[in-house]
Amino acid sequence: MAPHRKSRPPSPMGIRTPAIATAALTSVALLSQTANASPSEEPRPSLEEVEKKVGDLYRQAETASEKYNAAKEKTTKQKKRVDTLLDDVARRTEKLNDAREELGTFAAAQYRTGAAAPDTASLLLADNPQDYFDQTQLMDRLTSRQKQSVDDYVTQQTATTEKRQEASESLETLTRTQSSLKTSKADVQRKLATARDLLSKLTTEEKARLAAIERQKQEEAQRKADELARQQAADAERRRQEAAQSTGTSTGTGTSGSGSAASTAKADKALAFARAQIGKPYVWGASGPGSYDCSGLTQAAWKAAGVTLPRTTWDQVKAGTTVSVNSAQPGDLVFFYDDISHVGIYIGDGMMIHAPKPGAYVREESIYYMPIHSVVRPA
């Protein structure tokens, strides 16, 4: 060993100092915890958070369903328009060909007899026949019948060109609505898949607690429905008493009475249809006969009564007279949420028939199960 270097006395038993040993043990423990932990694992949401998230997803899915219904209805109408335009173009093209053939016949005859300039036949190839006629002053050399043939040809070509352009624009619109339809469908499916995934992760105990929360919600909604039923009954009794007191002073109801009776008859038919659908599954985008979404059910019910309603909740809410909740009568449409994404048909006593949500069936339920937006009387 070199004389200038000093040897270090070994630690007893080869053990490090306490501070170093403690730090080493702490590091090992932390490394062990890090290795055992799953860095990508997210905190498990509470049951209340799951219940709210699933409810929000169902609402969002129903809104997306109404967008799908609107796009589907628009696509159907646009496709019919395109088909009509294409048929019209085909008929006009046939007439144009007939006019061209007749025009070509007399042009060829004139060319053979030398009665017209050789370039007369080229008018059939002109982009704008009228400009061609103006430039060559050909019209001055034509007979009355020939002039009529030229007029027919020009008219048919102009009309056919316009219809082809219109059909082309309609096809472009159809492509856009079909794209919107596809987007809305994917949006519904994505939200429903997320909701199913959240519910599938619940334990048996959590599912039981979630069912208990649902029962409490149903009970509270039913309590409010009973209150409305009592209030409506009291209002009806008061109106009967007022009518009895005014008997003899009125000149009769005449037209008004018959109109009310007709409306009541239609409402009864709509309700009878809706009751017959109870137990059928909710399927988004469906309008019967085996399954329904909310607006599909109300549309089908009123159709059975001879009243045509639009397809979506956003259009149905405009298809009638808005009345107060307290004035709601059987057959009225009850709309829900600020975005008007759900609808049911009122049956009286604060109750309705509706197609609730995915996984559920058409059923009777309190109108207070969801926040009410408005009540509309279709007829």
Residues carrying an active site annotation: 294, 342, 354
Q: State which H helix or E strand residue 299 sits in.
A: helix 294-304
| Locus of tokens 């646009």 | 78
**115 in the Ramachandran plot: left (φ > 0), alpha (ψ -120 to 50) or beta?**
alpha
Quick one: which of 300, 310, 307 has its CA closest to 277? 300
Q: Are strands 372-377 and 363-366 parallel, antiparallel or unpaired?
A: unpaired
Q: State which H helix or E strand residue 300 sits in.
A: helix 294-304
Q: E-strand spans in the chain? A: 321-323, 333-336, 342-348, 351-354, 363-366, 372-377
CA–CA separation, 316 and 65 (whole Å): 15
- Among the residues of 128-253, which ranges form H helices? 129-136, 144-200, 204-245
Q: Bridge-partner residues for 354, per DSSP?
A: 363
Length of the chain measured in residues: 379
Report CA dihedral (203, 206, 211, 216) to the nearest 10 degrees.
180
Quick one: which of 288, 299, 279 has its CA closest to 356? 279
CA–CA separation, 126 and 109 (whole Å): 19
In the sheet with 363-366, reading across from the earlier edge strand, the strands are: 321-323, 372-377, 333-336, 342-348, 351-354, 363-366
Structure tokens at 108: 């060829």
